[in-house]
């Protein structure tokens, strides 16, 4: 029997989420975000499912080239543009679209010899202060790009939210107001909303929404859960029990002896560890599901294995273990390990077999 950990990817759940997102923003095109191996779900396989998307978004040129090599012909946007002008010939040859996020990038583009014009998404910093041209530069750069035959029309204007996961945070309203004011009267398409924008800030939908996490069925909101938003988790990360053993009261378990049995009990050893992407800092008590029942992780997660206190439950070698998925929210695990679901999903390593299933 194959005891490799498995990430089961439910393509019906993916379709459900895509359709749900589209119904929330019926006037918008969807730029489906597939960076970081589609948040751990498999870049090409996810792209092949999302026929109805208007475009795909990736972070790096090699991700875009993998999609092209896999036969994907849909528009692909490099969300951080080019890192060096010597990438431009490849960008043109592979028909990729680019974000322009600072003045030097705009200058390099306008100075370059291109075989063909490119689609440009001009990114404005409306308050996140990570990437984007300054609002004070906007009108000049906008005019230059509009006037350039190297830039296909319509031009797209975009910005990115810093705090959209918190519906009470006034920063989002301020970002939206600044971007709306800057782009007023521009002959261009607008793109603002990430997943949290799609779900919580309908004023931000614009011409193109850019959902990532919500496509995979996970809540991007603080303390959120999939079901609140009508989403279905796409990934179920599971493994199996490879040993069941007794421990006596007072026995210390695992590296560093960080858990000591408070009474005689039984442990299941699960064939998954941080080498697979299960978080090493999962504290004692982090839940897993064995035969559908919640049971606590005890001791330190090691590279290939994790221990679970099964008490007196009947658990056998070979029994299935769910680490997160439809029946155990990855949002809950992320809160326990003080991270966000994004990080857990894209930390799944290549040791984990991705298996595509339907309902």
Ligand X SMILES: *Cc1c(COP(=O)(O)O)cnc(C)c1O
The stretch near ligand X (CB under 6 A) out of 10-18, 204-212, 262-270, 347-355 is 204-212
Give Cβ neighbours of residue 80 (< 8 Å, ≥ 6 apart). 59, 60, 99, 101, 131
Could you tell me which of 79, 187, 82 has the C-alpha nearest to residue 143? 187
Choosing from 6, 33, 200, 301, the residue that interacts with ligand X (CB under 6 A) is 33
SS3 assignment, position 5: coil
Supply the minimum distance, in Å, between the C-beta of residue 217 and ligand X.
12
Choosing from 67, 106, 200, 213, the residue that interacts with ligand X (CB under 6 A) is 213
Does the annotation place 130 within a ligand binding site?
A: yes
39 is an active site residue: no
Q: What is the distance between the alpha carbons of residues 324 and 279, in angstroms, rounded to a whole number?
A: 12
Q: What is the distance between the alpha carbons of residues 42 and 40, in angstroms, rounded to a whole number?
A: 6
**Does 341 participate in binding ligand X (rule CB under 6 A)?**
no
Q: What is the distance between the alpha carbons of residues 32 and 56, in angstroms, rounded to a whole number?
A: 5
Supply the minimum distance, in Å, between the C-beta of residue 88 and ligand X.
20
Q: How many residues does the chain have?
A: 359
**Does 272 participate in binding ligand X (rule CB under 6 A)?**
no
Which listed residue (216, 255, 278, 342) is catalytic?
255
Choosing from 127, 212, 233, 341, the residue that interacts with ligand X (CB under 6 A) is 212
Choosing from 195, 204, 226, 236, the residue that interacts with ligand X (CB under 6 A) is 195
The stretch near ligand X (CB under 6 A) out of 112-120, 211-219, 278-286, 308-316 is 211-219
Q: What is the distance between the alpha carbons of residues 219 and 195, in angstroms, rounded to a whole number?
A: 8
Supply the minimum distance, in Å, between the C-beta of residue 125 and ligand X.
12
- # chain residues binding ligand X, by CB under 6 A: 12
**Does 229 participate in binding ligand X (rule CB under 6 A)?**
no
**Does 61 participate in binding ligand X (rule CB under 6 A)?**
no
Choosing from 34, 47, 78, 79, the residue that interacts with ligand X (CB under 6 A) is 79
Q: What is the distance between the alpha carbons of residues 254 and 68, in angstroms, rounded to a whole number?
A: 46
**Does 233 participate in binding ligand X (rule CB under 6 A)?**
no
Does the annotation place 158 within a ligand binding site?
A: no
Q: What is the distance between the alpha carbons of residues 295 and 180, in angstroms, rounded to a whole number?
A: 50
**Does 300 participate in binding ligand X (rule CB under 6 A)?**
no
263 is an active site residue: no
Going through the chain in order, the beta strands assigned E by DSSP cover 6-10, 29-33, 55-58, 76-78, 96-100, 120-123, 155-158, 188-191, 208-209, 235-247, 252-253, 259-260, 265-270, 287-290, 293-298, 306-309, 320-324, 353-357
SS3 assignment, position 147: helix
Nearer to ligand X, 182 or 301 (CB): 182
Annotated binding site for substrate: 130, 303
Residues in contact with ligand X by CB under 6 A are 33, 35, 79, 160, 194-195, 210-214, 220
Annotated binding site: 130, 303
Which residues are the active-site residues? 35, 255
């Amino acid at each position: 029997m194959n005891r490799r950990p498995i990430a089961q990817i439910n393509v019906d759940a993916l379709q459900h989420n895509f359709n749900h997102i589209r119904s929330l923003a019926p006037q918008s095109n969807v730029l489906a975000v597939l960076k970081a191996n589609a948040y751990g779900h498999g870049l090409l396989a996810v792209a092949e499912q999302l026929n109805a998307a208007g475009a795909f978004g990736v972070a790096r040129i090699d991700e875009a080239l993998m999609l092209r090599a896999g036969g994907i012909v849909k528009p692909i946007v490099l969300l951080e543009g080019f890192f060096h002008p010597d990438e431009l010939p490849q960008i043109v040859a592979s028909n990729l679209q680019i974000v322009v996020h600072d003045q030097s990038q705009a200058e390099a583009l306008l100075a370059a010899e291109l075989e063909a014009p490119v689609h440009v998404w001009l990114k404005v910093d409306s308050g996140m202060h990570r990437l984007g041209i300054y609002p004070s530069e906007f009108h000049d750069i906008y005019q230059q790009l509009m006037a350039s035959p190297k830039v296909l029309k319509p031009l797209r204007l975009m910005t990115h939210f810093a705090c959209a996961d918190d519906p009470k945070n006034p920063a989002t309203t301020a970002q939206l107001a600044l971007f709306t004011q800057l782009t007023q009267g521009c002959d261009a398409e607008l793109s603002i909303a990430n997943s949290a924008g799609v779900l919580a800030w309908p004023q931000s939908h614009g011409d193109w929404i850019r959902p990532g996490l919500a496509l995979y069925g996970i809540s991007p909101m603080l303390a959120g859960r999939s079901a609140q938003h009508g989403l279905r988790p796409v990934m179920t990360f599971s493994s199996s029990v490879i040993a069941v053993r007794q421990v006596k009261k007072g026995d210390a378990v695992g590296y560093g002896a960080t858990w000591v049995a408070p009474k005689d009990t039984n442990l299941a050893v699960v064939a998954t560890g941080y080498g697979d992407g299960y978080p090493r800092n999962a504290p004692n008590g982090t839940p897993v599901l064995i035969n559908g029942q919640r049971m606590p992780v005890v001791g330190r997660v090691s590279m290939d294995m994790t221990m679970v206190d099964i008490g007196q439950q009947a658990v056998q070698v070979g029994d299935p273990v769910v680490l997160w998925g439809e029946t155990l929210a990855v949002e809950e695990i992320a809160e326990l390990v003080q991270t966000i679901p994004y990080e857990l999903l894209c930390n799944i390593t290549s040791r984990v077999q991705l298996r595509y299933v339907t309902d």
